[in-house]
Amino acid sequence: MLYVSMPLINLEDVSKVFGFGDATSLALDSINLIVQKGEFVAFMGPSGSGKSTLMNMIGLLDKPSHGSYLLDGKSVARLRPNQSAKIRRDTIGFIFQSSNLLSRLNVLDNVALPLAYRGFSISKRTKLASDMLNRVGISHREYFFPSQLSGGQLQCAAIARALVNNPKLIIADEPTGNLDSIGSRLIMELLTEIHKMGNTVLFVTHNPELTRYANRVVYMHDGAIIHDETTPYGRVAKIARRSMYTIPDKTDEDDYAGVSILMHAFPDMSLSDKSSKEPDHKKNMKKTKSQRKRRSKK
């Protein structure tokens, strides 16, 4: 991986703790992550592995409990609400699983909303929003209300809204989660196009196929990054491929322990790399090793 002097995202030892006392749960566990400008990163991992929490953290919707976060060289881990709102407005575009459009506004007004908060005049923001809707291919639905659109169209509108401010960073939390395969492809191709224009795109997915679009795949488990892989475009990432093609051989024991099928697919190397850095995950690692031994016995 080619490291440029200033990465767009630089997380150091970032942790997020929810709850307190006995009910404490560790959503993110000492995450270290560097994302360069122009990367197209896919985040994978089972539910509850902390992907969304990480996305919210990177997108400044949430604050880390510990650690430092440099966004474009500026420390943003301890900003006041208004400051982070302005950074969200100017440099980050969000795409959620459910499109999260405001039902009261029509598509055009929804897309123009971030511009409104920036103080653009009505005519200017209408023009920009209209152009953006044209780019995502739903300009014929400008004056429709969200309830009148299909899932794919909604997601296109949400992408248009995320892009209308021309943000440096696009964060998509399961953008294709509610879509069928054709819809997913459409959205991912749209994201690829955006990426080609020089934007940095982070997206969360459960679908291994979609790692084809990314040039880097990060795999998370239990709040930690346990695998980080650079892949050529058009190829399914190795780790994803394993999870796709490995025949599930989960035992009742695994079920009881809550171990995902995907856990069996982890390559040894990535685990050993991580284990040296992050002693907290020895437990996880041991579990997978024992499972592997069991498999080899079979």
Interaction site with another protein (CB under 8 A):
56, 59, 61-62, 81-82, 85-86, 88-90, 94, 96, 100-102, 104-105, 113-114, 116-122, 161-162, 165
CB of 12 to another protein, least distance (A): 21
Q: Read off the tokens for 112.
A: 């123009």
CB of 92 to another protein, least distance (A): 8
Give 94 or 213: the residue with its C-beta nearer to another protein.
94
Give 8 or 163: the residue with its C-beta nearer to another protein.
163
CB of 103 to another protein, least distance (A): 8
105: exposed, middle or buried (C-beta count within 10 Å: 0-12, 13-18, 19+)? middle
CB of 35 to another protein, least distance (A): 20
DSSP helix/strand/coil, 21: helix
CB of 178 to another protein, least distance (A): 16
- Which DSSP symbol is given to 146? G
What distance in Å separates the CA atoms of residue 28 and residue 254, rounded to the nearest whole number? 23
DSSP helix/strand/coil, 294: helix
Count helices and strands in the chain by DSSP H and E runs = 10, 10
Give 16 or 281: the residue with its C-beta nearer to another protein.
16
Give 40 or 94: the residue with its C-beta nearer to another protein.
94
* Residue 277, C-beta contacts closer than 8 angstroms, at least 6 positions apart: 32
Give 122 or 257: the residue with its C-beta nearer to another protein.
122
Q: Read off the tokens for 54.
A: 């990480």
Give 208 or 223: the residue with its C-beta nearer to another protein.
223
CB of 238 to another protein, least distance (A): 32
> SS in 3 state form for 214-266?
CCEEEEEECCEEEEEEECCCCCCCHHHHHHHHCCCCCCHHHHHHCCCHHHHHC
Give 8 or 112: the residue with its C-beta nearer to another protein.
112
- Per the DSSP assignment, residues forming a β-bridge with 216 are 41, 230
Residue 40: in which H helix or E strand, if any? strand 40-44
Residue 171: in which H helix or E strand, if any? strand 169-173
Give 89 or 185: the residue with its C-beta nearer to another protein.
89
CA distances from 221 to 21, 88, 196, 270 (A): 23, 27, 29, 13
C-alpha radius of gyration, the chain, whole number? 20
